[in-house]
Structure 1
């Protein structure tokens, strides 16, 4: 079974230059492919595949443009992977799964450098280091995380807030305990609390803790500081006066990125702990709702809170971890009235409002709204196994 690992690395100065070069060229090729396809479509109403664009780039464009020879300074497979990523984005757009592909920006650091396995010695893993193709040995910040006898299929290197990470895909045997201890559970994902389980376990919203709120306040201050530097830079260029420089702005950008990364790490770690706790129970099945996250975000009053919760990420991790441990994942329809349905008599309370935190039924049943929803998910008869 294939498994992905991601960890932080400590590259040397020369290795950083090589990583930046590969990421920069990959970003340029990706954007060039989008722009070229956009231009071709406006003229001929046709679409250029990734393979055809790669042939045209290497056989016609680069040989006829001497100022573009620097594209060949990195691995050809890295540039080809960037083209394939662009083609994948276009195909998703044509299928209606996503919007029109957007150009990659340097400041977002959302491009990864792909390093292929060209020979047997590439992507060799040891306890404290990993050998990356064309770069060489690179030290890991976490020792013994990946089994040294693992077979690495491919890998990428990315940069985030002045930190460098390696992501590798490994072929390994994942051993799991097939013995199931408890009965099935239903999980209601929400905003007030992240997850409410039918067995009584409740996971609070980490975004309401003082630690996260303190970091968010710090983020606001640093973002205002960055905004003032941009304004100072504009005035300086206009009036030829001293003020904020590009170097100072870049330093402030890195500060903001580091705070964003810290918040991401806290929320991601919390989701991992939630999934781990649920899997440890070893239920026969787990029932969840088919949440339309993209539609929920359209609510301007709740969009920010929903994005902070990372519900889609939590759902995907729960499904993946459950499959590894042979736990059945059941998914009910998004139209299933889990919150409005009485778990005792089965009647539906159509006038239930979002502000009603306690479910009160005519039959005398009174219980917490989210807990009642988790009971209904556990007892659902119509579901889809995913």
Structure 2
């Protein structure tokens, strides 16, 4: 089947290309905010918003009114109009809040352009982008399929990246006999029914003291000054390192599970509610269980695997997976091992939960 797949690379623009990228950021932000204002005014007056076509027909007039809009990629400006329309569509369907204005002070800036007539091409370690021309980038893996669009982004650390979206033919992996249940945790990240335990890397905890040190330095410096910006970039780079190491761990674990198992059963976790616990919120955020589930979901769809979910409120830790006896004492998180009073089986808390998750997901 055909799927949309994104390839992210770091790009190294020269000074002229960097200035043009910044101008495109500003012009796209201006167009977005302009049509967002018109959309809000029309909605306040009539109770109905605008449409993408009505905004797109006004864009050429806007470019005649502001000559500097012609200096950047025209498709990027059209994409900004499309983003306004999509944001209101999601708002009407109650997927998110009402769209907000974009700020030039936001640490992440981006714009999107579409591939038309071969204006986006990859040749070795050179990438051709509209208006920017040929730009050097880190070609860490080959681009596959038909190129659809490219998003240029500057992250808070001041680095530039491009995400190329392609239409790719994904072939399912050959079938295997593996069938496991997974219990996610904090001390041990995942315990599987095949006896495997995956340790939690605790990425944020390893960088927490250094991050706090630089955050204090940034707070003590005059906001907006040169030294303040230096400390801000340092904080952003530490956050970037944490995110990259966490993402690398999650991708490696999920890919390994997908390759070795045909059916994977996991628990439906309500992470938003769990984050309300002040004692565990930081560790739960560091574990990134929602991202783990998201990666497993699309990878299982790509490679022909089956992902099953156990009910959110299924009793997995307290019930003996051998005889089904309920043991309420296991509610205490300090109890890591316990013996079933009925069948006298000695259980490891997490391993028993993994078996129960597997049974609950299959019988769902």
TM-score normalized with structure 2 length? 0.88
The CA distance in 2 between the partners of 1:352 and 1:31, in whole Å, is 54
Q: Which residue of 1 aligns with 2:164?
A: 168
Per-residue displacement from partner, 1:133-175 (whole Å, max 9, x unpaired)? Answer: 22111112235x114x743121111111111111112233444
Q: Which residue of 2 aligns with 1:239?
A: none
The CA distance in 2 between the partners of 1:158 and 1:354, in whole Å, is 46
Q: 1:189 aligns with which of 184, 188, 192?
A: 184
RMSD: 2.5
Q: Which residue of 2 aligns with 1:375?
A: 355
SS of residue paired to 2:122: coil
The CA distance in 2 between the partners of 1:49 and 1:102, in whole Å, is 17
The CA distance in 1 between the partners of 2:26 and 2:86, in whole Å, is 20
Q: Which residue of 1 aligns with 2:77?
A: 79
The CA distance in 1 between the partners of 2:36 and 2:327, in whole Å, is 50
Bigger drift between 122-131 and 21-30 goes to 21-30
The CA distance in 1 between the partners of 2:31 and 2:339, in whole Å, is 59
Per-residue displacement from partner, 1:85-141 (whole Å, max 9, x unpaired)? Answer: 233233323323323334334344434221222313x22112212111221111122
Per-residue displacement from partner, 1:46-79 (whole Å, max 9, x unpaired)? Answer: 32233323334543x565xx4x433333223212
Q: 1:255 aligns with which of 191, 211, 234?
A: 234
2:126 pairs with 1:129: yes
Deviation of 1:261 after TM superposition, in Å, equals 0.7
The CA distance in 2 between the partners of 1:359 and 1:52, in whole Å, is 66
Check the 8 A contact 2:310/2:358 in 1, yes or no: no
2:311 pairs with 1:333: yes
Q: Which residue of 1 aligns with 2:154?
A: 159
The gaps in structure 1 that reach 5 residues or longer are 234-244
The CA distance in 2 between the partners of 1:280 and 1:375, in whole Å, is 20
Check the 8 A contact 2:311/2:361 in 1, yes or no: no
Map residues 19-34 of structure 1 onto 2, 5 A cutoff.
19-34=21-36
CA gap 1:382/1:198 in 2 versus in 1, 3 angstroms:
closer
TM-score normalized with structure 1 length? 0.83
Check the 8 A contact 2:175/2:262 in 1, yes or no: no
The CA distance in 1 between the partners of 2:48 and 2:161, in whole Å, is 38
The gaps in structure 2 that reach 5 residues or longer are none
Q: 1:98 aligns with which of 85, 96, 99?
A: 96
Q: Which residue of 2 aligns with 1:365?
A: 345
